[in-house]
C-alpha cells in the first residue's frame, strides 16, 4: 500500500510538471474578462535606493521594517532582468517571503523592466537634439527577440514559453519564482516618460501623440516603437495569466493620456500597429489595471490674462484634485475605446508613484512644506478610496538627501520620503 501511494504521488507530481511545462496562452483577454477586486485598499511606498549593495546601505529587509513602522501595508519592488541574470532568479526569495510572511504585507505590485545586455535589443535610433541640433544615437531599452513566438512545444523541457523570446522567458521565471507574493504586474516603469515637448502638443500640431504615434526619440525609457510596448503587454498578459489567471496586468505608471490613447489604438503589429491575423487585438486587450503616476506640484497654476501672469493654487486640496483629475482623464480615454463595463470590462486603477515636495526651493514655484505634504498624503489616501482606486504608493520611503543639503534637487524628489536614511 505504501509503495502504491508513493507511485500515485509520483504520478501526480509528474502530471503537475507536465501540465506546468505544457501550459498554453489563456483563452480570454481583458476584452472579455477582468478579475474583480474585493480586497481592502492598501497604501505603500517604493523602497528607493540608498547607496547600493556592499556600500553600508540598509538591506531590503531593514528598509521594509520602516514600512511597517509608518503603517504601510504593501510595497512596490522591482526584479530587473539584468539583476536576476547576474545573481540568479532566487536572489530575492528570502526578502519576498520576509515582506509577506514576517511583515504581513499584501497584494504586492512588481514592475518588470531592465533587460541584461545579452537580452537587450541592439536596435539604434538617431535623434536630433532640439537644442544643439546635433544627431545623437540611442540604443533601444527593450528586450530583443520580442517577436519570436511566445510559446513553443516545450520539447526543450525547460519552460512552457519559447526561451529565445527573452522577455517571455524573463516574465515566466519571475512568475514561477515570485508569483505567490505578487498581485499586480506593471509592464515597464513610466514607458511614456518624454524627452521633449511633443507629449504636450495638441491634435493637428506636427509631432503630437494624438494623430501619430510617439517617436522612439520621444520615449526615454523605451527608445523604441509603441508597438513594442503593446507587444510586451501582450507577452506579459499571456504568460502571467497562463499561470495566475487572477493576478492583474497593469500599465507601467503612465503620466500622459495621449500615450494611453496610442496604446489603445495600436496592436502589437510591428509594421504599423494595424489589426492582422497574427495581431488581432489592440493594447487594451492586454491589461486589467491602469497604473499611473502623478506629481501635482507641476500643475498648480493657470494663466490669467487679467493679471498677465500665472495664478497659483499651492494648497493640498488643489493638489489632491489634480491626482483625481488625471484619473478622470484616463477614464475618459478608456471609455472612448469601450472600456466602460459594457462594451468591454472596465479597468481597475492604482497609483504607484505620488507625492509633493516637503520643501519649496527659491528657484521654483512649486508647492513645498512639511504641512502641505502631510495634508496632501492624508487626503490622497482617503479620496483615492472614495474614487475606487485600489492601491496608492508614495514615491519613496526615505529621503535621499537631507532637506537642508544644498545639492538636493530643486524639484523636491530628494525630500519625498517618510524617513531620512543616512548612509555612513
Ranges 57-61, 200-204, 267-271, 354-358: which has the least confidence = 57-61
Q: Are 298 and 322 in contact (CB under 8 A)?
A: no
With bands split at pLDDT 50, 70 and 90, how would you rate the model's confidence at 52?
low
Q: What is the model's pLDDT at position 407?
A: 79
Q: What is the pLDDT of residues 100-139, one digit of tens each?
A: 999 999 999 999 999 999 999 999 999 998 888 899 999 9
If one compares 402 and 356, the residue with the highest pLDDT of the two is 356
The mean pLDDT of 289-315, rounded to a whole number, is 93
Q: Tell me the three cell numbers of residue 147.
A: 517577436
With bands split at pLDDT 50, 70 and 90, how would you rate the model's confidence at 20?
very low
Is the pTM higher than 0.75? The answer reads yes
Q: What is the DSSP letter of 273?
A: S
CATH code of the domain made up of 2-420: 3.20.20.80
Q: Are 284 and 249 in contact (CB under 8 A)?
A: no
Instruction: Say how many residues make up the chain.
Output: 424
Which backbone phi and psi does 222 adopt, to 5 degrees? Answer: -115, -45
DSSP 153-181: --TTSS-SB-TTSHHHHHHHHHHHHHGGG
pLDDT over 50 (residue 9):
no
Using CA atoms, how far residue 64 sits from 40, 416, 423, in Å, is 20, 17, 16
pLDDT over 60 (residue 8):
no
- How many CA atoms, within 13 angstroms, populate the side-chain half-sphere of residue 41? 17
With bands split at pLDDT 50, 70 and 90, how would you rate the model's confidence at 365?
confident
Amino acid at each position: 500500500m505504501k509503495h502504491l501511494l508513493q507511485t500515485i504521488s509520483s504520478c501526480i507530481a509528474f502530471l503537475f510538471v507536465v501540465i506546468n511545462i505544457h501550459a498554453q496562452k489563456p483563452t480570454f483577454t481583458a476584452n472579455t474578462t477582468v478579475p474583480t477586486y474585493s480586497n481592502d485598499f492598501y497604501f505603500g511606498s517604493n523602497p528607493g535606493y540608498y547607496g547600493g549593495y556592499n556600500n553600508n546601505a540598509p538591506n531590503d529587509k531593514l528598509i521594509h521594517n520602516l514600512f511597517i513602522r509608518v503603517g504601510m501595508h504593501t510595497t512596490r519592488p522591482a526584479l530587473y532582468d539584468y539583476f536576476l541574470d547576474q545573481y540568479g532568479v532566487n536572489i530575492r526569495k528570502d526578502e519576498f517571503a520576509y515582506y509577506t510572511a514576517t511583515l504581513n504585507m499584501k497584494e504586492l505590485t512588481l514592475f518588470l523592466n531592465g533587460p541584461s545586455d545579452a537580452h537587450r535589443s541592439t536596435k539604434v535610433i538617431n535623434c536630433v537634439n532640439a537644442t544643439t541640433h546635433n544627431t545623437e544615437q540611442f540604443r533601444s531599452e527593450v528586450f530583443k527577440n520580442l517577436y519570436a513566438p511566445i510559446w513553443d512545444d516545450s520539447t526543450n523541457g525547460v519552460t512552457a514559453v519559447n526561451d529565445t523570446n527573452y522577455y517571455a522567458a524573463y516574465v515566466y521565471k519571475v512568475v514561477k519564482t515570485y508569483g505567490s507574493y505578487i498581485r499586480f504586474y506593471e509592464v515597464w516603469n513610466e514607458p511614456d516618460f518624454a524627452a521633449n515637448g511633443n507629449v504636450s502638443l495638441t491634435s493637428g500640431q506636427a509631432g503630437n501623440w494624438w494623430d501619430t504615434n510617439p517617436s522612439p526619440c520621444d520615449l526615454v525609457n523605451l527608445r523604441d516603437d509603441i508597438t513594442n510596448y503593446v507587444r510586451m503587454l501582450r507577452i506579459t498578459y499571456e504568460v502571467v495569466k497562463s499561470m495566475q489567471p487572477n493576478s492583474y496586468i497593469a500599465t507601467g505608471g503612465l503620466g500622459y493620456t495621449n500615450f494611453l490613447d496610442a496604446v489603445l489604438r495600436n496592436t502589437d503589429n510591428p509594421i504599423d500597429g494595424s489589426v492582422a491575423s497574427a495581431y488581432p487585438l489592440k493594447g487594451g486587450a492586454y491589461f486589467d489595471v491602469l497604473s499611473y503616476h502623478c506629481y501635482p506640484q507641476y500643475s498648480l497654476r493657470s494663466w490669467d490674462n487679467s493679471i498677465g501672469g500665472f495664478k497659483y493654487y499651492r494648497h493640498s486640496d488643489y493638489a489632491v484634485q489634480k491626482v483625481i483629475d488625471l484619473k478622470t482623464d484616463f477614464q475618459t480615454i478608456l471609455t472612448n475605446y469601450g472600456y466602460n463595463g459594457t462594451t468591454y470590462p472596465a479597468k481597475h486603477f492604482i497609483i504607484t508613484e505620488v507625492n509633493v515636495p516637503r520643501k519649496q526651493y527659491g528657484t521654483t514655484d512649486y508647492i513645498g512644506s512639511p504641512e502641505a505634504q502631510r495634508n496632501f498624503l492624508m487626503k490622497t489616501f482617503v479620496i483615492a478610496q472614495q474614487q475606487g482606486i485600489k492601491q496608492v504608493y508614495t514615491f519613496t520611503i526615505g529621503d535621499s538627501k537631507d532637506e537642508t543639503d544644498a545639492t538636493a534637487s530643486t524639484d523636491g524628489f530628494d525630500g519625498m520620503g517618510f524617513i531620512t536614511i543616512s548612509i555612513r
